[in-house]
Chain A
């Protein structure tokens, strides 16, 4: 079954923009983490995310067929063209909030990549197979850290609960479905995100229970990132830093 090229492009941008924007956010920790091992771990995580971005946006550029590259898509689009979920563009906050955000995202990626490995699109399946090995390490580490800090001192517990309370309303957007998702599901390219929720909730509940943290009750979800309808004010600031060199010196190479 053939799929509308523009819808496939949207789907690929959503994948690549999630990893690009989160990768950039996590890289902001480089040189600032509480201890050396954590600094290295965050830099490595960011590196994996940027590597995954090259695969997703590389394929997106190919599908788009306008002769662009992954770099063009990363550095020469404006905020309203980005399709990442809002969760990934939120500021880092403290170390605990960064790791909570990472866990909430890693848990989603671990469920999604597992499904995408059997995508009807060979390239999507290959990227997912490559990515899932890295995601397995990411989720193991972010979950361990959430447990360590949640079930840690009074101070770390309070900070992790505050991080969870703040970030939880951004989780729902990852499971939102629209016509792009329906088309991907119909073509066997990707599952309907809504169908991943039960598995995600079970994984998150298990880790948060071990972390002695309380899952907020509300299901309200901030949305607008993956559709591009409305990003938070933070994305523009992030892009200004990330894209500055290419904007100031067009075509500049390393």
Chain B
């Protein structure tokens, strides 16, 4: 078969949801750093969000499954450590999707700007850590609901 173009591979990858936060895709998250063909092998470079994130192996499996489903059989996944992943690479589309989903998107100021449920701005931090390494727990003092905040790193 004729190998697909790099752009085509990116299009396929753009359909893969994050295993923990399915409203955003791996491409939105900014963790797929490069796609290239080395001969007939499709090399995808992926950078981990947090070094111990248990979703990493699931993410690799999802990428491989997706590409195999599109007929690629020579696939190499490369872990790329540097430059280290930053939430700056997250797309605006992903930020909006996170908030819609109930997770406050990362902010350079180091904390959420408003409650993703009611838009309230009287917020307090409950814990530096949440249900995944990338999130912290906050609470809105206006609607009294707890919510998760995607940490800015």
- The interface residues of chain A lying within 8 Å CB-to-CB of B52 are 47-52, 54
Stretch at the interface among A78-86, A123-131, A162-170, A199-207: A123-131
Contacts of B130 in A (CB 8 A): 40
Contacts of B81 in A (CB 8 A): 55, 123, 126-127, 129-130
Whether A159 sits at the interface, judged by CB under 8 Å, is no
B81 smallest CB distance to A (angstroms): 4
- B95 adjacent to chain A (CB < 8 Å): no
- The binding surface of chain B is classed by DSSP as loop
**A129 CA to B84 CA in the complex, in Å?**
6
- B13-52 contacts to A, CB under 8 A, are 48, 50-52
Complex Cα spacing A130 to B54, Å: 16
A50-B51 Cα distance, complex, nearest whole Å: 8
Residues from chain A with Cβ under 8 Å of B51 in the complex: 48, 51-52, 54-55, 130-131, 134
Per DSSP, chain A at the interface is helix
CB distance from B146 to the nearest CB of A (A): 10
- Which of B61-76 touch A at CB < 8 Å? none
Closest chain A residue to B57, Cβ basis = A254
Residues of A within 8 A of B137 (CB): 37, 40
Q: A50–B84 Cα gap in the complex (Å)? A: 17
Please tell me if A41 contacts chain B, counting CB pairs below 8 Å: yes
Are B151 and A129 closer than 8 Å at their CB atoms? Answer: no
Q: Which residues of A contact B131 (CB under 8 A)?
A: 40
Interface extent on A, as a size class? 20 to 34
Closest chain A residue to B131 by CB distance? Answer: A40
Nearest A residue (CB) for B53:
A51
B82 contacts A by Cβ under 8 Å: yes
Also in contact, A122 and B82, with CB within 8 A (given A45-B129, A48-B52)? yes
A50 cross-chain contacts in B, Cβ below 8 A: 52
Contacts A48-B51, A54-B51; A41 near B129 (Cβ below 8 A): yes
B124 to chain A, nearest CB (A): 13
B82 engages A134 (CB within 8 Å): no
A137 at interface (Cβ–Cβ under 8 A)?
A: yes
The answer to whether B82 and A41 have CB atoms under 8 Å apart is no
| Cα–Cα distance between A105 and B85 once the two chains are bound (Å) | 24
Interface contact B53-A140, CB-CB below 8 Å: no
A197 contacts the other chain (CB 8 A): no
